[in-house]
Amino acid sequence: MWTYNIIGLLALSELGHAVPFSSKIHKNTALAIIDVQNDFINGSLGSPRASAILPKIYQLLDNHEWPFIFASQDWHPLDHVSFASSHPGDVAGDSVNESFVDTPTKVETQALYADHCVPETWGAEIERGVQTRLHSLEGYRTPVNYIKKAQDHRVDSYSAFADNQYHRFTTLHSELGLHGIETLVVTGLITNACVRGTSIDGVKLGYEVVLIEDATETLSAEIKAAAIAELEGWGVQVLNLTDWESANPTPAKLRRRREL
């Protein structure tokens, strides 16, 4: 019946009438764009695998209507704990044991990286094609929220919801609540770090989490497969964009299908 009504509306649209397509917005669902920043694509922590996800994210922005979108960004001060340059004698790839910010008796192992995603640098900026699309949507068709995470130099933050010690939460969970969001469609970089952290926290906080597997990447197919297997264990649904779109058609998608 619903399908029949949509087809009816499409027929009207072809006659040139205005049609309220916004009613077919992906209800209670937010698009999550995790750390699609230049440094993770071809900057200081770049990977030749990363840019393949960009057309998938463009498609999710161009052909779908969302009640809410959020884009996270690593946003590290220069002396950040995750930078090898903050630890004399250590190099990228090493790790260090750091006391918890609020519990000195607890220790966590922090991986060390080249400097990355420093505010106001090119590397910290969201990839141009994604950023241009977000600018055209934000506050005009869709609320867009930017999460600048890991600003505390003492503790890293893979998740867009909270730092790795749950010392401090971002505004994300309350923003999602304000917009009635129940489902997160997750994309971005990199699968085994910030995508993993955000997805797991999403599950912990009670969201249904869907990971679009061809809209996320990391350093190798093996690392990606291991991260996806772990996320499936947490209850994250993992599927490719084609399969997700088939299950969640938009008016634009239906229109194209009819024309074929």
Ligand X SMILES: *[C@@H]1O[C@H](CO)[C@@H](O)[C@H](O)[C@H]1NC(C)=O
Burial class (CB in 10 A: 0-12, 13-18, 19+), 248: middle
Binding of ligand X at residue 3 (CB under 6 A)?
no
Binding of ligand X at residue 95 (CB under 6 A)?
yes
Binding of ligand X at residue 92 (CB under 6 A)?
no
73 in Cβ contact with 147 (< 8 Å):
yes
- Of 50 and 184, CB closest to ligand X: 50
Among 13, 44, 47, 240, binds ligand X (CB under 6 A): 240
- Nearest alpha carbon to residue 160 among 143, 181, 176: 176
36 in Cβ contact with 111 (< 8 Å):
no
Binding of ligand X at residue 109 (CB under 6 A)?
yes
- Of 42 and 131, CB closest to ligand X: 42
Strands 107-111 and 144-149: unpaired
**Positions marked active-site:** 35, 149, 194
Binding of ligand X at residue 237 (CB under 6 A)?
no
205 in Cβ contact with 160 (< 8 Å):
no
Per CB under 6 A, which region of 11-19, 89-97, 184-192, 244-252 contacts ligand X? 89-97
Neighbours of 134 (CB within 10 A): 19
- Of 13 and 121, CB closest to ligand X: 121
Residues that bind ligand X (CB under 6 A): 42, 95-97, 109, 214, 240, 242-243
